[in-house]
Amino acid sequence: MDSYVSGSVAPPLSQSHGADLGHLREAIAKLESVHGQKGTDLTGRIIHLCHYLPIVSSIQRTPAAPPSPPKTPPTEAVELSTPKASATALPSDKKFQWHLTPRRGHTAMHSGIRSLSATHKQVIVAYTGDIHAHRPSPPEIVGGGGAAPGVETVPSDSLTAEEKKELEAQMANYSDPEWEKAGHEHPITYVPVWLDDKTARGHYDGYCKTTLWPFFHYLLWQDVAHEIQSHDAEFNAYSDANLKYAEKLFEIYQPGDLIWIQDYHLLLAPKFFRNLAPDAHIGLFVHTPFPSSEVFRCLPKRKEILDGMLGANLVCFQTYSYGRHFASSCIRVCGYESAMGGSGVDVSGQVVEIMHCPVGVDAKRVQIDCQRPGIKPKVDALRSLYQGKKIIIGRDKLDVVKGVVQKLKAFEKLLLDFPQWRGNVVLIQVTSPALTDSPKLERQVSELVAHINGEYGSLDFIPVHHYHQHIKKDEFYALLSVADLALITPLRDGMNTTSMEFVLCQQEVSKATGQLAQDLQSSSRAPSPLVMSEFMGISNAMSGGALQINPWNLGDVAASIHRGLTMTDEEKRLRHNTLYEAVTTHTSHTWAAVLVKSLLEKINSENSAHQTPALNRSKMGELYEKAKKRLFMFDYDGTLTPIVKTPSAAVPSKGTLRALEKLSEDPKNVVYIISGRDGGFLDQHLGHLRNVGFSAEHGCFVKEPGHSGTGGEWTNLTKTFDMSWINEVKDIFEYYTERTPGSFIELKNASITWHYRASDPDWGLFQCKQCLDLLQTNLVPKRPIEVLVGKKNLEVRPIAINKGEIVKRLLYTNPDAEWVFCAGDDKTDEDMFRALCLLRPSVVANQEVIMQPPISASLTVSPSATPPKLEPVRLTISPDAVFSTAVGLPTKKTLAVWHEQSPRDVVHAMLELVGEGGESSHSTLPPKDGEALEAAVAASKEEAPTAEPKL
């Protein structure tokens, strides 16, 4: 269990997932129309970033002339024969020629992509796969990018620029045969990604297949130590390949394109591309399972993988549980927070939404294929061959995670526990070779088959028929059609098309000619049942009709097989109807449409990624020199110093102190630090800066410039407030502290904070929400307080006291300021930026700004004194001279106009204003350790430290 509140980390399945394709397309068109009316530019184009192109490329070259032999003395005349040109010889004017053929594999995904061509222009950007040397009759490629056995490959570095350019031109005009059959309006453009052979092998055969694939399927290294190396030496190749994909995508990208990145091969690509196109609309779909956070945290490059995925606006999985595991991993490994409302993960103000939508098959296409004329003769032959016996069908890749060994053991358990089936049931198991050979698994399966046949077979009966080979589509559908039961037992799987194809084949076989699905009662043969593992991505969608089993529980599997073989026709039909509805509703076409619709819904949402421009230092410096009075307002933690694990260790650097000292020495400058820290900390580390003013505890206390050291006078803005509520809040916080290990209470002079940063992330968040609900229900309506949800903390403070009120107070008391700089990094600092919104150009509109007296301006008088009469003031500042600056990611949600990447950059910008921003100042700046932003593509490969809570 990764969450105490399941809804807190992943959203529920969208209700639109059950809608038919027509309604989904109408919804998409409506969303695009709404975006157009709002001025959002959409190109109407969808770009899919996939691992392999659905095209096999082979090159035919003019044979090189044989080398000349050394001269020898003449002996006798010999008639030299000229080699005959092959039937596929090149024209005399060509040095090479490309041949493009369809690639099998990932049928459901490409079927969904093709269906979008009915309404959208599309581009598929992917790796070419191995380039083959052309032969007149190339063998059929069964999927993946590697060459089939016996196929000669061409090294990628041997391809000339002319050959690559010609292939790109041919792919741009390539017409997919399946697309032509569908008759869609918009063509699909194919763009190849070029990878050198070493990177390609390290990416796929290395990191993908030896690390990510087993890891995502819960196979830790110690489980398969004889097969898989326990290191991630190929991660660099994986990263380099992902960067190549992102760069190729950027070459063809146009603002307004929708980007969908497919599967675990490209988990770093979202972040790489986000760095290149910050405002792009990016979705990521993970076809594989995603493991529990307790498993995922064992991955050495865990943070890089998660941060790469979080470059997307939307991350989608096959099931809700996979999404929950991902969110929990982001919270536990990276220290990010769950988005309020449970819609996803909050990454420094940007919410990455999480959803789930299982992939289906092209139901109409499968139903047509089931009626191919070559299938019926094969069905009749199989029935004749196994007359009088029940037929169980299994078809899997020979991979550890497919559960073939468990299936064979369960079948043996069936024959042991239910002896009446001996001689009366056969298991036909087809295993297609996996992309990565596993000799030990092959040997284990062969030994099990031989054992079962030797123990329970006879001269005239063989219980298990095992075929380790690829089979043709007609043979496959014939097996599914003749089966009395389908047995599918993956130990962990994202998607399994065999189960859905079985349901559709049974529909065609069982119904009478010309009858519809609802007329099954009149069919001559009831549909056969399906026994399937509960550890599959589609198991939830098919739970109503399939007999779901735990493949590790052999007795339960055997009992379910027996139940399926003895099931009544009525129950078979009821279960089949449920399965058929699920398979024909959740198709590959509706899956693709849901992805597009979900990404469109994310565009321009409140928390979606948007680019805040980098601080224009030249413009700021120019206006700084012209201004007669300037106002500086800085947050402390995360703005002037990096956030660190131990709050007391966040001491100012030499560069920070130098910048504050130089700024405050200028009589034209008014410098304030507005912090959540208490006055004691600020006095200890910054109190010697006589000309700097301070605000402590989020605006509860103020010290004016000119009061230095610990003996300086702090003004309590809350002294006129009723503070009796603080004991009531303390009692509530103590209750939750007792029940939340690792949490603690911080009691300040005018506020109280409950921290849970050292607690279990999910349990702490759950307790925080419970405590927040209690406070807002019982105390907030009765007391003059407000509750602030911070970074892994909950703070209660007097109402109308916050950093924004201090900003208003400073603007009111300095109406002649002609230049303002305000910097902060977290949620509490948004109050400062909100206060400065009254100076936005859209608000001012060439009119003078009259500011009413803020509440904080009247809080410095004694409770017994008569409050002075405060008058409105006219502000002289121009909107262009207000530099509100958020520190952190440029895509974070903020009201600030500008951004700087880190505290180091903020301090450097201030030193530039006072003429000390040269290279010699870099050694005095705040350290880079603790900064969470990587600004460039190269820097995004480096691991950023975990974000820590801020006081």
Q: Are 939 and 272 in contact (CB under 8 A)?
A: no
Q: Are 790 and 824 in contact (CB under 8 A)?
A: no
Q: Is the pLDDT of residue 950 over 60?
A: no
Distance CA 393, CA 503 (A): 13
Return the pLDDT at 286. Answer: 96
34 vs 220: which has the higher pLDDT: 34
Is the distance from CB of 818 to CB of 630 less than 8 angstroms?
A: yes
The whole-chain average pLDDT of the chain stands at 83
Beta bridge partners of 315: 284, 354
Band of residue 525 on the pLDDT scale cut at 50, 70, 90: confident
Task: Report which of residues 72 and 613 the model is more confident about.
Answer: 613
| Active site amino acids | 635
Task: Decide if pLDDT at 5 tops 80.
Answer: no
Task: Express each pLDDT in 457-474 by its tens digit.
Answer: 988 889 999 999 888 889
Residue 743 has pLDDT above 80, yes or no: yes
The confidence score (pLDDT) of residue 9 equals: 38
Least confident interval from 87-91, 92-96, 662-666: 87-91
Residue 523 pLDDT level (bands cut at 50, 70, 90)? very low
The larger pLDDT score, comparing residue 821 to residue 889, is at: 821
pLDDT of residue 905: 93
Section 890-911 average pLDDT: 89
pLDDT tens-digit readout, 327-384: 999 988 888 888 766 678 888 778 899 999 989 999 999 988 888 888 889 999 998 9
Residue with the bigger pLDDT between 260 and 3: it is: 260
Among 32-36, 123-127, 168-172, 944-948, where is mean pLDDT lowest?
A: 944-948
Other CB atoms within a 10 A radius of the CB of residue 410 amount to 26
- Among 227, 244, 217, 215, residue whose Cα is nearest residue 305: 215
Percent of the chain with pLDDT over 70: 82
Q: In the predicted model, is pLDDT for residue 623 greater than 70?
A: yes
**Cα(288)–Cα(422) distance, integer angstroms:** 37
Encode pLDDT of 421-458 as tens digits: 999 999 999 998 876 667 888 999 999 999 999 999 98
Instruction: Assess whether pLDDT exceeds 90 at residue 853.
Output: no
Any residues with CB less than 8 A from the CB of 331 and at least 6 apart, and which?
9, 293, 337, 338, 345, 761, 762, 765
**Mean pLDDT computed over 511-524:** 43
Residue 579 and residue 83: Cα distance in Å, rounded?
A: 61
Residue scoring higher pLDDT (799 or 274): 274
Please report which confidence band the pLDDT of residue 927 belongs to, taking 50, 70 and 90 as the band edges. Answer: low
pLDDT band at 64 (very low <50, low <70, confident <90, very high): low
pLDDT of residue 17: 45
At residue 870 the predicted structure's pLDDT band, cuts being 50, 70 and 90, is confident
Percent of the chain having pLDDT more than 90?
A: 47
pLDDT tops 90 at residue 561: yes
pTM value > 0.85: no
Give which of 875, 893, 894 is closest to 884, Cα–Cα: 894
Pick from 691, 687, 693: nearest CA to 672: 693
